[in-house]
């Protein structure tokens, strides 16, 4: 047995280093891309390691050789600041760069770049998330492509002995029309990329775009259709041991001893047995053997602490946590205030109130997490791991290994789904275990979590609760709305050092900043920390909060005797962008009708909702019926206005994917804790959307020309409220607690 | 030692007889196109063909393979039906993260070998693999295209 000292938790929290990072509001962070460049948020230690001239970081997104390798055959390798996980960013970024460089994106190969300050494009930070990738990189990557093209032209001018002004380009070649001579980029690249870039290059006139805004085929589809795409789980290095782990039943307790170590050591293929912080591990010559062995281990564990946020107490339950959120008497902080809500309530003709909640959710991405760690002969650590922030994982890996960040080489393979799973969540990521085991065994080690370990140790979308009150005037229109949201969001948990604001935007987004003309608003937030490890999860706070708000807005409509669609239209009278969107989704669905109505031999009804997630706007309509007391969704119509787009086919695919996930949460998903333990360990108990639950999804795109918004997440938040509102139209039953499957619905 | 016939070649593996075929493929033979998703025959990411039938290899011990012929995603384009399925997958741009898609392509190939002109009902029951990215409609469209 090989006991490894408990992890220094300072190695994993806080998420971002405090030094060198200016405090800022998330609003600034989320403002239009490039609006606010942060002090460079580099991992600790880097500045020290790079003192001297090299300590001055390049302006992210400007150094051509950091991004482009143009090969002799004219194909292009693009090192991307982002990691591909199905959202299509590799293709989108190839379209953007290819458009200006004048190379067909089909000849691009795109790889996630290693750590480095060149790639910190999201307001001075490097990350793939927040639906930021395209909107943050669109302008700099166009400029980068144009800069590189101009360097090709200059190199060709020298080679051909002509003026640059006499040259043009044509899909990877520089052309001298007058003499009919051409030179391929591949021949020019070696010289061209050494030239000093010009910073006043002219960008292409969007009217002449050939790739941007076109439904270009995604670059990785054939590899993904033939099993050739390589994910973290598929990586292998010479001499590697496979490790399987078994975590503590109660998060926060640690292994102290093993009862049957010798017997397990004698099992086939077993190499070594280890005690880790919060887990036991076995290494072996195949993962299956390691898993069999680790499951056979009988370990003694410390008892969980009775309370606290770094442990799950033995009597913790998700219901108890919800009760705590509901029962909180703490003073609230204002998250949005407008007018005089108290006065409006005093004058109200009618007051309604309701409470909404939504459960913990697992990411349940289909690829279970894994990581490989290898200490190289030169003292460097090399890691292969799924991640959305290479520099941060590099810094954390360095701390775990006790070396400097620049001694850590990070490989970021394509992700088998992420949905927010691969941020840094401390003990919910396996790479630190891989590092500790590689150190202990002196061999490269690949740690793979079984699906069961993943369901039990994933960081979760937080459970949350909001209590609403609305005042209605004699005309039935709302005059005031109040909300009290109690809980905690992942921004506060993991980026607290960076966004030092009392109100956690990721806890209240979707309840605040709605577009409706309700003159008096008092939206409040109470922070109540979860003992559970909480996560970013596709569309973050919007994933539940738009359900809360838009469900309650339907209740307001009905209390005032109004049709929910007509009420929204009336409340958007001063918001032309959202009003147009709402009308567009009604048109896409063949005209608004709430129902119930007869269709295909049964009764159906529709619900509507709106959301403003991640800089985009969406309007959603869902059509439902009841089948044996459960909800059947037939159609979902979503119109999205992301300002402007790069690839309409990818936008549609992402909106449909997000809608499917939103529906999955509306109908089925919940992580339930009972006696300090999560109940579901696999997909048999944690139900996700299956083929038989999949509706037709109809996506419309409006390009309003507003600043570019996100695409990967915004399709989600409108779906749960549209479905719940449709269920209410059909059955009269108002669902205020997800998933819907908890509620027995009666026929109509 | 157990001998397996995989993609027309014979391979010998030194594993315990109860080892799931999935892990013999992935770890012992290095054929990582077949994916691990759940290990309990729920998701279908590990689907291979055993004598042209779709089989969830995470629950299929190597001892039960016997003389059966195994086809994995690595050889899918050597199969006439498999090739059509892949072309339809590319034409319909089915994959998103792609992790489930090896299994989806194998399940579609098995379905179309058995039922060359599947009804919607056949697709519903034949294509039961999970996709967390929600590509179900694209998968169905690609199956229809491959059958056409
Ligand atoms: S891994 Fe075999 S069905 Fe999921
Ligand atoms: S494409 Fe991602 S799980 Fe299916």
pLDDT tens digits, one per residue of A417-446: 999 999 999 899 999 999 999 999 999 999
Please tell me the predicted confidence (pLDDT) of residue A496: 78
Q: What is the mean pLDDT of residues A530-557?
A: 97
Q: Domain boundary residue among A225, A246, A263?
A: A225
Closest CA to A577 of A675, A684, A678, A705: A705
Q: State yes or no: pLDDT of A134 exceeds 70.
A: yes
| Same domain? A564 vs A415 | no
The pLDDT assigned to A307 comes to 67
> For A117-134, what is the mean pLDDT?
90
Percent of the residues in chain A that have a pLDDT greater than 70, as a whole number: 91
Cα distance between residue A520 and residue A518, in whole Å: 6
Q: Measured in Å, how far apart are chain A's first and last C-alpha atoms?
A: 63
Task: For residue B42, give the ligand 1 atom closest to its CA.
Answer: 3
| Euclidean distance between CA atoms A55 and A45, whole angstroms | 12
- Number of the ligand closest to the Cα of B93: 2
Q: Please tell me the distance from the alpha carbon of residue A608 to that of residue B25, in angstroms, as a whole number.
A: 48
Model confidence over B31-69: pLDDT tens digits? 999 999 999 999 999 999 999 999 999 999 999 999 999
The values of phi and psi at residue A732, to 5°, are 80, 0
Q: Do A506 and A638 belong together in one domain?
A: yes
SS3 A640: strand
**Token pair of A260 as six digits:** 């049957």
Give yes or no: residues A620 and A719 share one domain: yes
Antiparallel, parallel or unpaired: β A76-80 and A108-112 = parallel
Q: At A233, is the secondary structure helix, strand, or coil?
A: helix
Indicate if ligand 2 lies below 6 Å from the C-beta of A86: yes
Domain boundary among A448, A473, A502: A448
CA distance A511 to A133: 25
| pLDDT at residue A15, as a whole number | 34
Q: Tell me which residue of B100, B108, B115, B103 sits closest to B141, measured CA to CA.
A: B108
- A248: distance to nearest CA of chain B, Å? 20
CATH 1.10.150.120 domain position(s) in chain B: 76-147
CB B100 less than 6 A from any atom of ligand 2: yes
User: Read out DSSP for A435-446?
Assistant: HHHHHHHSS-EE
Q: What is the pLDDT of residues B7-19, one digit of tens each?
A: 999 999 999 999 9
The residues, ordered by sequence, that sit 6+ positions from A153 with a Cβ below 8 Å of its Cβ are: A164, A167, A169, A174
* Mean pLDDT, residues A332-347 taken together: 97
Dist. CA A364 → ligand 1 center (Å): 13
Ligand 2 binding pocket includes B38 (Cβ within 6 Å) = no
pLDDT at A62 over 80: yes
Is the Cβ–Cβ distance between A246 and A451 less than 8 Å?
Answer: no
Do A221 and B95 count as a contact with CB atoms less than 8 A apart? yes
* Nearest neighbour of B27 by CB, restricted to A218, A288, A367: A288
* Containing structural domain, residue A407: 233-305+369-448
When the pLDDT of each residue in chain A is averaged and rounded to a whole number, the result is 91
* CATH 3.10.20.30 residue ranges for chain B: 2-74
Mean pLDDT, range A165-170, rounded to an integer: 97
Q: Identify which of A300, A250, A355, A277 has the alpha carbon closest to the alpha carbon of residue A673.
A: A250
* Per-residue pLDDT tens digits for A459-503: 999 999 999 999 999 999 999 999 999 999 999 998 876 666 789
Q: How far apart are CA A691 and CA A695, in angstroms?
A: 9
Q: How far is the CA of B36 from the centre of ligand 2 (A)?
A: 13
Same domain, A476 and A540: yes
Please tell me the distance in Å from A564's CA to the nearest CA on chain B: 29
In Å, the largest CA–CA distance within chain A is 84
Hey, which residues 96-125 in chain B have their CB within 8 Å of chain A? 96-102, 105, 124
A-B CB pairs within 8 A amount to: 167
Does the domain formed by B2-74 have CATH 3.40.50.300? no
pLDDT at A29 over 60: no
pLDDT of residue A56: 64
Q: What is the ipTM metric for this complex?
A: 0.98
Cα(A305) to ligand 1 centroid in Å equals 36
In this structure, what are the phi and psi dihedrals at residue A347, rounded to the nearest 5 degrees?
-95, -5
Closest Cβ–Cβ partner in B98, B124, B138 for A86: B98
What percent of chain B is predicted at pLDDT more than 70? 100
CB of A342 within 8 A of CB of B110? no
Query: Which residues, in sequence order, are bridge partners of residue A255?
Result: A301
Residues A300 and A325 in one domain: no
Q: Which fold has domain B76-147?
A: DNA polymerase; domain 1 (1.10.150)
How does DSSP classify residue A97?
Answer: H
- Band (A53; pLDDT cuts 50, 70, 90): very low
**Alpha carbon separation from A376 to A380, A404, A438, B76 (Å, rounded):** 5, 14, 11, 37
Q: Which residues of B touch A242 (CB under 8 A)?
A: 27
Distances (CA, A) of B33 to A413, A630, A678, B48: 15, 37, 31, 10
Encoded tokens for B102? 């090896």
Give a three-class secondary structure readout of A655-702. Answer: HHHHHHHHHHHHHCCCECEECCEECCCCCCCCCCCCHHHCCEEEEEEC
A561 and A662 share a domain? yes
B133 C-beta closer than 6 A to ligand 1 = no
| CA–CA gap between residue B125 and residue B114 (Å, rounded) | 13
Closest-CA residue of chain A to B94: A221
The answer to whether the CB of B102 is under 6 A from ligand 2 is no
Give the per-residue pLDDT at A523.
Answer: 98
Q: Determine the residue of chain B that is closest to A362 in CA distance.
A: B132
Mutation to test the A interface, candidates B36, B47, B49, B146, most A Cβ within 10 Å: B36
Q: A659 and A521, same structural domain?
A: yes
The answer for residues whose C-beta is within 8 angstroms of residue A697's C-beta and 6 or more apart is A635, A636, A638, A655, A656, A659, A660, B137
Could you report the per-residue pLDDT of A663-699, keeping only the tens digit for each?
999 999 999 999 999 999 999 999 999 999 999 999 9
Lowest mean pLDDT among A48-52, A366-370, A599-603, B89-93: A48-52
- ∠ CA A666-A670-A671, rounded to 5°: 165
Q: Is the pLDDT of residue B136 over 60?
A: yes
CA A117 to CA A137: how far, in whole Å?
A: 14
The residue contributing the CA closest to ligand 1 atom 3 is B41
Q: Is the CB of residue B135 below 6 angstroms from any atom belonging to ligand 2?
A: yes
Q: What percent of chain A has pLDDT over 90?
A: 85
* A745 contacts A732 by C-beta, under 8 angstroms: no
Q: What pLDDT score was predicted for residue A3?
A: 54
Chain B: closest CA distance from residue A39 (Å): 33
Task: Give the distance (Å) from ligand 1 centre to CA of residue B16.
Answer: 20
CA angle A668, A670, A672 (to 5 degrees): 140
> Measured from the CB, is residue B106 less than 6 Å from ligand 1?
no
A221 lines ligand 2 (CB under 6 A): no
Three-state secondary-structure class, residue A304 = coil
* Cα B79 from Cα A600, distance rounded (Å): 40
C-beta atoms of A691 and B127 within 8 A: yes
- Which CATH number goes with the domain that contains A117? 3.30.365.10
Residues A76 and A135 in one domain: yes
Tell me if A186 is assigned to some domain: yes
Determine the residue of B37, B72, B130 to mutate for testing ligand 1's pocket, defined as the one with the most ligand atoms within 8 A of the Cβ atom: B37
Q: What is the mean pLDDT of residues A17-45?
A: 29
Residues A426, A524: one domain? no
Q: Which letter does DSSP use for residue B27 in this model?
A: I
Cβ of A366 less than 6 Å from ligand 2: yes
CA A476 to each of CA A469, A473, A504, A523, A595: distance values in angstroms, whole numbers, following the listed order: 15, 5, 33, 21, 21
What is the rounded CA–CA span in Å between residue A447 and residue A443? 12
CB of B131 closer than 6 A to ligand 2?
Answer: yes
Half-sphere exposure of A454 (CA within 13 A, CB side): 24
Ligand 2 centroid–CA A366 distance in Å is 7
According to DSSP, the residues that pair with B62 across neighbouring strands are: none
Which atom, in ligand 1's list, is nearest to the CA of B43? 4
Q: Give yes or no for a contact between A680 and A621, defined as CB atoms under 8 angstroms apart.
A: no
Is A440 found in the same domain as A329?
A: no
A417 touching B, CB under 8 A? yes
Within A160-240, strands assigned E span: 167-169, 173-176, 181-184
Q: At what angle do helices A185-192 and A133-160 cross, to 10 degrees?
A: 90
Average pLDDT over residues A357-366: 98
Contact at CB, B98 and A224, closer than 8 angstroms: yes
A252 falls in which pLDDT band (50, 70, 90)? confident
- Whether A524 contacts chain B with CB within 8 A: no
Q: Which of residues 1-20 of B touch A (CB under 8 A)?
A: 15-16, 19-20
**pLDDT computed for residue A305 by the predictor:** 77
Please give the pLDDT value at position A495: 85
Considering every ligand atom shown, identify the ligand nearest to the alpha carbon of residue B39 and give its number.
1
Question: What is the 8-class DSSP label of residue B61?
Answer: B
* Opening angle at CA A107, ends A105 and A108, nearest 5: 70
Structure-token match 């090192």, residue found:
A79
Asked whether the beta carbons of A356 and A4 are under 8 A apart, the reply is no
- Residue A7 in this model has a pLDDT that exceeds 50: no
Band (pLDDT 50/70/90 cuts) for residue A47 is: very low
In a domain, A747, yes or no: no
Does residue B98 line the site of ligand 2, with CB under 6 A? yes
Which of A86, A367, A450 lies nearest to residue B96, judging by beta carbons?
A86
> Is A329 in the same domain as A399?
no
Q: How confident is the model at residue A747 (pLDDT cuts 50, 70, 90)?
A: low
DSSP state of A276: E
Does some domain include residue A558?
yes
Same domain, A559 and A532: yes
Neighbours of A262 (CB within 10 A): 9
Residue that the structure tokens 């209390």 belong to: A559
Residue A72 scores a pLDDT above 60: yes
CB B66 near ligand 2, within 6 Å: no
Query: Which of B35, B46, B99 best tests ligand 2's pocket when mutated (most atoms within 8 Å of CB)?
Result: B99
Which residue, of A180, A207, A225, is where some domain finishes? A225
Look at residue A211 and tell me if it is in a domain.
yes
State how far residue A713 is from chain B, nearest Cα, in angstroms: 12
Q: How confident is the model at residue A453 (pLDDT cuts 50, 70, 90)?
A: very high
Q: What's the structural domain count of chain A?
A: 3
Q: Which atom of ligand 2 is nearest to the CA of B97?
A: 2
- The rounded Å distance from CA A665 to ligand 1 centre is 22
Contacts of A232 (CB under 8 A, 6+ apart): A367, A369, A370, A371, A372, A384, A385, A386, A413, A415, A416
Q: Does A29 map to a domain? A: no
User: Comparing A128-142, A145-159, B94-108, which segment has the lowest mean pLDDT?
Assistant: A128-142
């Amino acid at each position: 047995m090989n006991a490894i000292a408990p992890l220094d938790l300072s190695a994993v929290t806080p998420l971002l280093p405090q030094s060198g990072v200016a405090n800022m509001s998330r609003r600034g962070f989320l403002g239009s891309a490039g609006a606010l460049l942060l002090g460079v948020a580099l991992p600790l230690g880097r500045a020290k390691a790079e003192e001297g001239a090299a300590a001055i970081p390049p302006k992210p997104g400007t150094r051509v050789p950091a991004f482009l390798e143009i090969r002799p055959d004219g194909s292009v390798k693009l090192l991307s600041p982002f990691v591909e996980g199905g959202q299509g960013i590799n293709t989108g970024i190839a379209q953007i760069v290819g458009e200006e460089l004048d190379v067909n994106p089909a000849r691009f190969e795109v790889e996630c770049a290693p750590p480095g300050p060149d790639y910190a494009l999201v307001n001075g930070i490097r990350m793939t998330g927040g639906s930021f990738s395209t909107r943050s990189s669109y302008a700099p990557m166009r400029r980068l492509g144009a800069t590189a093209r101009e360097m090709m032209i200059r190199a060709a001018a020298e080679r051909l002995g002509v003026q640059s002004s006499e040259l043009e380009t044509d899909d990877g070649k520089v052309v001298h029309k007058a003499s009919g001579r051409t030179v391929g980029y591949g021949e020019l690249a070696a010289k061209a990329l050494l030239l000093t870039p010009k910073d006043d290059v002219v960008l292409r006139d969007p009217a002449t775009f050939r790739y941007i805004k076109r439904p270009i085929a995604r670059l990785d589809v054939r590899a993904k259709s033939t099993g050739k795409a390589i994910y973290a789980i598929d990586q292998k290095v010479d001499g590697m041991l496979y490790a399987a782990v078994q975590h503590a039943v109660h998060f926060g307790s640690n292994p102290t001893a093993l009862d049957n170590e010798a017997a397990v050591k004698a099992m086939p293929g077993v190499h070594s047995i280890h005690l880790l912080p919060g887990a036991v591990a076995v290494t072996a010559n195949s993962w299956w053997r390691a898993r069999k062995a680790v499951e056979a281990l009988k370990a003694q564990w410390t008892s969980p602490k009775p309370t606290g946020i770094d442990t799950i107490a033995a009597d913790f339950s998700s219901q108890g946590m919800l009760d705590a959120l509901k029962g909180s008497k703490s003073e609230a902080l204002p998250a949005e205030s407008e007018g005089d809500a108290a006065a409006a309530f005093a004058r109200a003709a009618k007051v309604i109130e309701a409470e909404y909640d939504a459960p913990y959710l697992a990411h349940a991405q289909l690829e279970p997490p894994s990581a490989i760690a290898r200490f190289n002969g030169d003292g460097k650590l090399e890691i292969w791991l799924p991640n959305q922030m290479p520099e941060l994982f590099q810094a954390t890996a360095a701390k775990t290994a006790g070396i400097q960040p620049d001694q850590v080489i990070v490989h970021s393979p394509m992700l088998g789904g992420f949905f927010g799973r691969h941020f840094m969540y401390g003990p919910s990521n396996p790479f630190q275990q891989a590092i500790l085991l590689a150190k202990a065994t002196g061999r490269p080690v690949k740690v793979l979590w079984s699906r069961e370990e993943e369901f039990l140790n994933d960081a979760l979308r937080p459970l949350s609760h909001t209590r609403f009150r609305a005042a209605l005037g004699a005309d039935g229109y709302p005059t005031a709305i109040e909300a009290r949201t109690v809980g905690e969001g992942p921004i506060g948990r993991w980026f607290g050092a960076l966004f030092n604001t009392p109100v956690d935007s990721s806890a209240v987004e979707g309840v605040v900043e709605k577009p409706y003309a309700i003159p008096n608003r008092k939206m409040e937030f109470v922070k109540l920390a979860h003992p559970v490890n909480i996560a970013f999860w596709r569309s973050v706070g919007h994933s539940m909060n738009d359900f809360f708000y838009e469900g309650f807005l339907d209740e307001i409509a009905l209390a005032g005797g109004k049709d929910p669609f007509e009420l929204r239209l009336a409340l958007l009278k001063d918001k032309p962008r959202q009003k147009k969107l709402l009308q567009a989704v009604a048109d896409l669905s063949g005209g608004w009708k709430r129902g119930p109505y007869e269709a295909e031999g049964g009764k159906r009804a529709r619900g509507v909702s709106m959301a403003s997630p991640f800089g985009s706007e969406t309007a959603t309509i869902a059509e439902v019926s009841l089948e044996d007391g459960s909800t059947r969704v037939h159609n979902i119509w979503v119109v999205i206005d992301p300002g402007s787009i790069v690839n309409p086919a990818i936008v549609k695919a992402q909106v449909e994917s997000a809608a499917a996930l939103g529906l999955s949460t509306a109908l089925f998903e919940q992580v339930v804790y009972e006696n300090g333990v999560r109940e579901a360990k696999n997909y048999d108990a944690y139900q996700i959307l299956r083929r038989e639950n999949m509706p037709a999804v109809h996506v419309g795109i409006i390009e309003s020309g507003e600043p570019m918004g996100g695409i990967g997440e915004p399709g989600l938040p409108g779906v749960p409220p549209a479905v719940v509102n449709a269920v209410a139209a059909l059955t009269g039953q108002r669902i205020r607690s997800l998933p819907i499957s908890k509620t027995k619905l009666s026929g109509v | 030692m157990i001998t397996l016939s995989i993609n027309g070649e014979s391979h010998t593996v030194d594993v315990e007889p109860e080892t799931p075929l999935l892990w013999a493929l992935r770890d012992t033979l290095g054929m990582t196109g077949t994916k691990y998703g759940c290990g309990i025959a729920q998701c279908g990411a590990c689907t291979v063909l055993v004598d042209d039938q779709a089989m969830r290899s995470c629950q299929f011990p190597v001892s039960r393979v016997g003389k059966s012929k195994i086809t994995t995603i690595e050889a899918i384009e050597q199969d006439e039906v498999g090739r059509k399925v892949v072309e339809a997958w590319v034409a319909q741009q089915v994959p998103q993260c792609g992790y489930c898609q090896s299994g989806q392509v194998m399940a579609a190939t098995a379905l179309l070998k058995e039922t060359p002109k599947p009804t919607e009902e056949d697709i519903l029951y034949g294509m039961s693999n999970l996709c967390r990215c929600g590509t179900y409609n694209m998968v169905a469209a690609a199956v229809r295209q491959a059958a056409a």
